Amino acid sequence: MRAFLLCLLLSALPASAHAAIVRLEMRPGIPASAEYLAGQPDKPAVLLLHGFLQTRTFATVATLARGLNDAGYSVLSPTLSLGIPNREKSLACEAVHTHSLDDDVAEIARWVVWLKSRGHRSIVLLGHSFGSMQLLAYLAGRPDGAVKAYIGTSLIEAQVGDTARGPLIAQLERQVRRRERALVNQPLSFCRNYLSPPEALLSYVRWDAARTLAALKQAPVSTRLIMGSADAMLGRNWIRSLEDLQTPMVVVQGANHFMDGEHEFDLLEHSLEFLARTR
């Protein structure tokens, strides 16, 4: 099996001849793009989402997309716009972030509809890091019936550094009620200084560990988590909390948050194993 996966990953290195760039207008004046790799029609399509402020070219998701496609799966890898027309680069922490989680979820929904328009009636959501949480937020709303399963890799909640979350939420809710638009500077995920209007920031901050775990437990589709035992970006006892939830999970020994190096094989192998059962 490992030799087979090595062949898949090596063959995925050149740009695929059957890759297509798809563009959709998410909101007026905000077009976004995705890469579509066509696969075998009898296999589920995979919607593969990148992590926090990244793009579809981030190494973890780009390598995984090629490996999945070489195994016969159609893969759609969008780059969330984050409010920037045709965004192609990762967004700096120091930028002004006007995008919200609601915007992200709406874009995920648009890409699901696009996959359906291509004839895909069985769709698997696969996210990395913050993207795994954003896909859970989509599932917690009104997911399309074509979505059959979910794979969360390096799943993480919206972290806020050392800030007490309760008072922060109360402060942001107060600012929203007062219609205040002054930017708030607050740690979020790996950003020490994340500048955002109160309402947009609040949409992410509300997704703490408890809400993320609840969304995972209540997910309306079959689920699988793939986590790394050496992931230094996770909160304290996060893997133990996931285990207590009894969600099907694989913990890859020695793997970090990005599942890079030799652990690319583990990530692809466990993803393919779950996808084979989804068929």
43-59 average pLDDT score? 98
In this predicted model, what pLDDT tens digit does every residue of 254-267 receive, in sequence order?
999 999 999 999 99
Rounded Cα distance, 50 and 33, in Å: 13
Structure confidence at residue 236 (pLDDT): 87
CB–CB of 181/201 below 8 Å? no
Percent of the chain with pLDDT over 70: 94
CB–CB of 266/255 below 8 Å? yes
192-209 average pLDDT score? 98
203-220 average pLDDT score? 98
Pair of tokens at residue 218: 């209540």
What homologous superfamily is domain 2-158+211-278 in, according to CATH?
Alpha/Beta hydrolase fold, catalytic domain (3.40.50.1820)
Structure confidence at residue 1 (pLDDT): 53
Between these two residues, 205 and 11, which has the higher pLDDT value? 205
Q: Which amino acid is at 165?
A: R
What contacts 59, CB < 8 A, 6 or more positions away? 258, 260
154-161 average pLDDT score? 97
Burial 199-223 (b: 16+ CB within 10 A, else e): bbbbbbbebbbebbbebbeebeeeb
Angle at alpha carbon of residue 28, lines to 23 and 32, rounded to 5°: 25
Rounded Cα distance, 108 and 99, in Å: 14
User: Residue 238 pLDDT more than 70?
Assistant: yes
Map out the domains of the chain as residue ranges: 2-158+211-278, 159-206
Band (pLDDT 50/70/90 cuts) for residue 6 is very low
Whether the pTM exceeds 0.75: the reply is: yes
